[in-house]
Amino acid sequence: MLSNEQIQHYKQQGFLVLDRLIDTDMLSKLKQQASTIVEKWVDDSQSPVFTTKDNDRSGDDYFLQSAEEIRCFFEEEAFDENGQLVQQRSLCINKIGHALHAIDPVFEAFSHQSIFGNIAAKLGIQQAQVRQSMYIFKQPHIGGEVNWHQDASFFFTQPQSVMTFWLAIEDATLNNGCLWVEPAGHLGPLRERFNLEGTTTKMESLHNMPWPSLDKGQPVEVKAGSLVVFHGSLPHYSAPNRSAYSRQAYTLHVTDGRCHYSSKNWLQANTLTLRGFDLSLTD
């Protein structure tokens, strides 16, 4: 389903946009399911806020155990100085992570389809393993910034293999905090690596190359249903959302079973069975 031109674009630029790949009925189904999960979620954590500011998750059991569960995280700006939510609870959730693809029936059925498998195969992944899923809300007014980073920092394999599937559930615009990427930035070095040692996490510096400034970045404004596929070494970023509209997205992180997956990665398949994508006979 991918043209040679698209494959070349991915190789040279490190990302690819597939405009309106998923139909609106399916998007509505995913959106409804995410909303139901949030409704049913009982906040029993001491630290359910998600921020990329310091990346220190040491001793944060709620986060670490979410590797193989379905858990909700609040936006960093969800609470006022008195500890009260600043808007309706459902509009305060930053994301749901990190095993929707393995546990939730709706997301599981969606996440392993051959439509994704065919893309992964064309872009170089031969033995796909879906490692992580996130439903990201980027809420109106308080949607948090996500600092420049490379996803391979969190899914370290040798050789590097992680690929990100980023599906726009809603239109993503400059106004509501769309993705930014550094075109061809995947050709540069991996700057850091997120290691888990026991219950301690540490961001290890690997290379001192600075993160790109916004003038080196390219905003990726896309319509709902569009899929952005990007290379694990591609630096990307998203701005805070100060608009009145959310910018919901669903992401999958996929590694190649032919590559060695580091035991230091925070996310391990201890209790869940790793699964890739269904096969298609038509492509």
Whole-angstrom distance, CA of residue 176 vs CA of residue 220: 12
Which residue, 52 or 175, is less far from Fe ion as judged by CB?
52
Which residue, 77 or 151, is less far from Fe ion as judged by CB?
151
Which residue, 122 or 236, is less far from Fe ion as judged by CB?
236
Which residue, 84 or 236, is less far from Fe ion as judged by CB?
236
Least distance in Å: CB of 146 to Fe ion? 7
Count the alpha carbons within 13 Å of 52 in the hemisphere toward its beta carbon.
Answer: 18
Residue nearest to Fe ion (CB): 151
Coil vs helix vs strand at 185: helix
Which residue, 109 or 209, is less far from Fe ion as judged by CB?
209
Whole-angstrom distance, CA of residue 109 vs CA of residue 94: 23
String of contacts with Fe ion for each residue 36-55, x by CB under 5 A:
--------------------
Least distance in Å: CB of 83 to Fe ion? 29
Tokens of 198: 């026991």
Size, binding site for Fe ion by CB under 5 A: 1
Tokens of 44: 């029993």
Whole-angstrom distance, CA of residue 76 vs CA of residue 143: 8
Largest pairwise CA distance in the chain: 57
* Residue (of 134, 128, 169) closest to 279 by Cα position: 128
| Binding of Fe ion by 192 (CB under 5 A) | no
Which residue, 116 or 194, is less far from Fe ion as judged by CB?
194
Least distance in Å: CB of 236 to Fe ion? 6
Least distance in Å: CB of 233 to Fe ion? 11
Least distance in Å: CB of 280 to Fe ion? 27
The 3-state DSSP composition of the chain as helix, strand, coil percent (nearest 5) reads: 25, 30, 50
Least distance in Å: CB of 211 to Fe ion? 13
Least distance in Å: CB of 42 to Fe ion? 28
**Beta-ladder partners of 93:** 74
Whole-angstrom distance, CA of residue 131 vs CA of residue 259: 13
Which residue, 151 or 170, is less far from Fe ion as judged by CB?
151
* Residue (of 248, 117, 110, 75) closest to 177 by Cα position: 248
Count the alpha carbons within 13 Å of 97 in the hemisphere toward its beta carbon.
Answer: 25
Of residues 106 through 165, those in contact with Fe ion by CB under 5 A are 151
Which residue, 104 or 151, is less far from Fe ion as judged by CB?
151
Find the radius of gyration of the CA atoms of the chain: 18
Whole-angstrom distance, CA of residue 260 vs CA of residue 159: 7
Q: Which residues bind Fe ion (CB under 5 A)?
A: 151
